[in-house]
Amino acid sequence: MVYETLIFEEFENVAKITLNLPEMRNPLTEKSTQELVYAIRKADQDSNIRAIILTGAGKSFSAGGNLNEFKKNLEKTAPELYGEGLESTELFKLGAEVKTPLIASVNGPALGGGTGLVAMCHLAIASTTAKLGLTELRLGLVPFVIMPWVRRAVGERKMMEMMLTAEILSAEQAKEINLVHRVVSPDELEAETMKLAQQVASFSPLAVRLSLDAFFNTEQMDMQKSFDYLTTLRLVSFMSEDLKEGATAFLEKRQPTWSGK
């Protein structure tokens, strides 16, 4: 695919995806959403990629949905809107489907769907210039698609407050409610994000995949059944080449060489 709305880069075991419509504050248009889904899946299917960074070009991370496209929706039929809605949700399903950690590098305002992207990522680091919030009600909209991710990140009561007040939070406020994990200065963001990505990428890719598998597949599972499921994953881990290599490297006081098997 030739990308028109984003930049796809690779740095050793890290993929960096940059939303690249800075003059529009990197909105999630139909085109950019399609390209973002493709880029994330491409990186996730590459065995050499062990962490994926999402960020925005210019001063914004993402302004969320595109108002011009919302206006066009008023002229469409219910079946058309339903079909397009199914396509748009593909992006926000990826957070629970990919086996490669997603890291949000929030370089500026991330509003509406932008906040949803941040909440979807497994890790999030933000610049002090970042602002986050569910501003949909200001436009007569509802944050339908991103609701599950934001609820998971901040909890039921805070999600309700964010949605009904449509308030914009600072990076520090977002950290206080677990919407982002770390806050750094603008000058440090790129380096600190890459440092975090490389840390994640340094671990056994098999163990990382199993970690995400265990987390998402047991979330809604009955507790007793979850122990059985996790015991099965534990068996895979204990019989893996990566665990043997990790234990051997530790005893030999050297860095492990992971095979992902």
Give CA–CA dist 191/188, Å, rounded.
Answer: 6
Here the tokens at position 166 are 């449509």
Please choose, from the candidates 124, 196, 119, the residue with its C-alpha nearest in 3D space to the C-alpha of residue 154.
119
| Of 75, 136, 188, 252, catalytic | 136
Give me the residue label for tokens 């998971």.
Answer: 152
Dihedral sign (CA 170, 175, 178, 180)? positive
Give me the residue label for tokens 């997603």.
Answer: 102
Which helix H or strand E contains 28, and what residues bound it? strand 27-28
Q: Active-site residue 12, yes or no?
A: no
**Could you give the residue numbers annotated as active site?**
136
